[in-house]
Amino acid sequence: MLKPLSEWSAGNSLDPSDPWFGRIDPSADGAYFNSQYGFVFDAAGSDSIPLGQSIGVRMTAISPGLEVYFYRSTAGSELFTPVFLSVGSVKDSVLWSGGMWHPVFVADPAMAGVVMSASFEFFLADAAPTTPTTTLDYATLAAAVPGYSVGALTVSFTAVPEPANAAWIVGLAMLGATTLRRRRAVRVSFGSSSVRV
């Protein structure tokens, strides 16, 4: 579920120097958000990611009013970068190293009570993130490696209106659909759902 900061932590506000202040703080946009669920590479249930390659994550659909951000803190600086900017554009995908990744899903306050979703496909990409220590690379374009299947996953959210005790059916529902693999497979999990590539 997506909630405003006033529901996550009543009476609190964010530091104005935080990169997400303008989008999430109640005194600014006051957007609804959630980052408690994340993608994880299931090393125990799959082959390792080959050297020089990565998992490509491409957005295939997203509800109006729903956005996805990547948060990273390195060398004393913090980034809150929008990812999956529009379906079909060069910015609709990222290269993922397989390290645990908790994207921040954000919704406009006007979407309170609305069920929204984002759909993704996963593929073994023919390039790795440009910096080995970087979890994501959202600038380098890559193609799928032949011989591997493409996995699909849809994540659904409900933006919980204030007050939180309203009679809304809320929760995170995830559906994973996979195709048969032709050679080896890589498994990706999000919450309780997983896909094989």
Identify the CA nearest to 78 among candidates 5, 17, 16: 17
Q: Across 9-13, 31-35, 38-42, 133-137, which has the greatest mean pLDDT?
A: 31-35
Triad 100, 102, 104: Cα angle to 5°: 165
Question: What Cα–Cα distance (Å) separates residue 191 from each residue in 5, 46, 160?
Answer: 22, 17, 19
Cβ-based neighbours of 48, under 8 Å, separated by 6 or more: none
Q: What is the pLDDT of residue 142?
A: 87
Comparison of pLDDT for 15 and 89, the residue scoring more: 15
Instruction: Examine the pLDDT at 11 and tell me if it is beyond 90.
Output: no
Identify the CA nearest to 63 among candidates 107, 30, 104: 107
pLDDT-derived band of residue 75, with 50, 70 and 90 as boundaries? Answer: confident
- Please tell me the least confidently modeled range out of 62-66, 92-96, 127-131: 127-131
Identify the CA nearest to 1 among candidates 191, 193, 195: 191
Helix (H) or strand (E) holding 5: helix 5-8
CA distance 111 to 65: 7
Q: What is the pLDDT of residue 43?
A: 75
Give the whole-number percent of the chain exceeding pLDDT 90: 31
Q: What is the pLDDT of residue 188?
A: 66
Q: What is the pLDDT of residue 146?
A: 92
- Within a 13 Å sphere around the CA of 134, how many CA atoms are in the beta-carbon half? 15
